[in-house]
Structure 1
């Protein structure tokens, strides 16, 4: 099965998600947050840089929990303006 290309909004949402998670991480190291979330540092790095624009839900939930940002806030703040209706 071939995955359809991502839309511009999906790419923007992935970049916003990464920026929000990176900001929420604050001064904590990627190693610390990745270990708390139970994921690899490389996965966290890719998500924070927007290289994984559609990460798995449970991965995002684990990172959000590790950095202390509620999922509903993360969803609302990572929505491109065109999608916010």
Structure 2
């Protein structure tokens, strides 16, 4: 499978997702959250650091559940209006963003 390069907007959303998850995790360890969400600690680390900007929907859903976040909260956070976003670049919907 060949992945297209991320747009700057997608990379920014990945950074926002990582920041949200880090804040929600608080003082709990990455290992604890990863094990409870049934994802690898490495996957969680990459998502939190923004290295995986477009994680799979089931992964995001599992982590959000463990952290007590609703998917609505996650979606609202990662799609904050971005002043530097090019309006000419089409935005992907939730399914496209999280499934890519």
Equivalent-residue separation in structure 2 for 1:24 and 1:3 (angstroms): 29
Structure 1 segments (4+ residues) deviating >3 Å: none
Which whole-Å CA distance do the structure 1 matches of 2:48 and 2:76 have between them? 17
Any unmatched runs of 5+ in structure 2? Answer: 86-100
Q: Which has the larger radius of gyration?
A: 2
Specify the alignment match of 1:8 in structure 2. Answer: 8
- Report the counterpart of residue 62 of structure 2 in structure 1: 62
* Aligned length in residues: 83
Measured in 1, the distance between the counterparts of 2:48 and 2:13 equals 12
RMSD: 1.3
The 8 Å contact of residues 46 and 52 in structure 1, kept in 2 or not, is answered as yes
1:2-81 correspondence runs (5 A): 2-81=2-81
Compute the displacement of 1:16 (Å). Answer: 0.2
The structure with more helix, counted as a fraction of residues: 1
Q: What is the CA distance between 1:59 and its match in structure 2?
A: 0.2
SS in 2 for 1:28: coil
1:2-39 deviations in whole A, cap 9, x for unaligned? 32211100000000000000100011100110010001
Query: Per-residue deviation at 1:73?
Result: 0.7
* RCO comparison, higher one (Cα < 8 Å, 6+): 1
